[in-house]
Amino acid sequence: MAAPAAERAAVRERGRAPDVAGVLILGAVVLWSLVTATGRDARPEGILLAVLALAAGYACGRISGTLLPVAASAAASLAALGLALTSGPSIPGAIPTGSVPPGHTGAAVALLVLAAGAACCAASAADSVPVRLLLRTLALGVAALALALGSVVGFVAALGVLLCSLAAVRMRRRLLGLAGLVLATGLFVGASWAVAEERLPEGLAASLEGQLTGHRVLLWQDASSMAKENPLVGVGPERFGALSPTARTTLYADGKPHSAPLQQAAEQGAPGVVLLGATYGWLVCGLWTSPRRTAVVLTAAATLTALAALATVGNALSFTPVTAGAGLLAGLATARAAPAPTDD
């Protein structure tokens, strides 16, 4: 009996490591944003709010996922869907309009992806076949809704999460699946940097520019130039819009380069990019050590990868509901099961 007890204790210790790492990483993100804002006309409030939203969502997900794993995920899906449908004045820039610069990726698409991902997580956690079917039908409906609203990107992302969730049911080793999703995220980030640096073959570059819009590519190039000029501390949080020639000459510009990695590089230098990657890595490591089913873990990881892809080519992470929703989903997928009641 001593050996199993020691094994359970080791598992518990490994389970605490991602939580400790998360505290340290998020603390470093806050500290570095304050450092890069010191002595400049910078506004680190956006970073601080994003960190707070992520941490609060993660904590709520851990608590509700322990108490009501299926119901909490289903409720999160419906809440994200409701926010996406009602977004507008309450979530600035969530729905593209004539006043939004070309290349804008708003919060509505990211919320639809979160809605599909949460529904699939609930389905993977459910034991009842009819409940699983109902929840996966909800995810399919979210994908169809994205297409009906004219968002091909949202449709592809939501459908991709659903297909990954179905495939995850047959997977037994989560590490391989997580490694593949991390690799996909790295490819998205690398492609955005290659476009900004004009390192792609001419034909491929022209094709991607047609999909991304020339306006977005110019913003990326401005961000890349700022990162080269200030590789350590960047230009300061929320200063890209004031220093970017493209943003300054664009009507109704929102002051962002529409790429989270490039924005971090421009405004907070190389350490900012490292911390952004570390935050994503912390969430993935938490999923790796999660006590939940592998299908739930891989579904959540696929959803976070889809969000990372959207953040690489847009400004989805600039919206508090999206960062809070990402934290909530990660918390739900890493929540420990409630202890079974015992008779005294």
Report pLDDT for 100. Answer: 44
Is 342 domain-assigned? no
Instruction: With beta carbons less than 8 A apart as the criterion, state whether 344 and 318 touch.
Output: no
Q: Which residue has the tokens 């491929």?
A: 204
Long-range contacts formed by 73-76: CB under 8 A, 24+ apart: 73/118, 73/119, 73/121, 73/122, 73/125, 73/332, 74/118, 74/119, 74/122, 74/135, 74/138, 76/114, 76/118, 76/325, 76/328, 76/329, 76/332
Report pLDDT for 93. Answer: 40
Report pLDDT for 88. Answer: 53
Report pLDDT for 255. Answer: 79
Q: What is the mean pLDDT of each run of 10 residues along the chain (344 residues)?
A: 40 64 94 92 91 96 94 96 74 42 62 96 94 96 92 92 94 92 95 88 77 86 93 92 85 80 95 96 94 95 95 89 96 80 44
pLDDT in tens, 202-221: 777 777 777 788 888 999 99
CA nearest to 244, candidates 218, 262, 270, 268? 218
Structural domain total, the chain: 1
Is 92 domain-assigned? yes
Is 10 domain-assigned? no
Burial tier of 288 (Cβ tally within 10 Å: 0-12, 13-18, 19+):
middle
Is 1 domain-assigned? no
Give the span between the Cα atoms of 75 and 105, in whole angstroms. Answer: 25
Q: Which residue has the tokens 């992806």?
A: 113
Is 2 domain-assigned? no
Is 9 domain-assigned? no
Report pLDDT for 9. Answer: 40
Instruction: With beta carbons less than 8 A apart as the criterion, state whether 59 and 330 touch.
Output: no
Rounded to 5°, angle at Cα 100 from 94 and 104: 65
Give the span between the Cα atoms of 256 and 310, in whole angstroms. Answer: 14
CA nearest to 326, candidates 155, 107, 20? 107
Rounded to 5°, angle at Cα 170 from 73 and 298: 40
DSSP for 199-224?
A: -S-HHHHHHHHHHH-HHHHHHHHHHH
Is 111 domain-assigned? yes
- Expressed as residue numbers, the domain containing 233 is 15-334
Cα of 255 vs its chain's centroid, Å:
21
pTM of the model: 0.89
**How many other β-carbons are positioned within 10 Å of the β-carbon of residue 129?**
8
Is 38 domain-assigned? yes
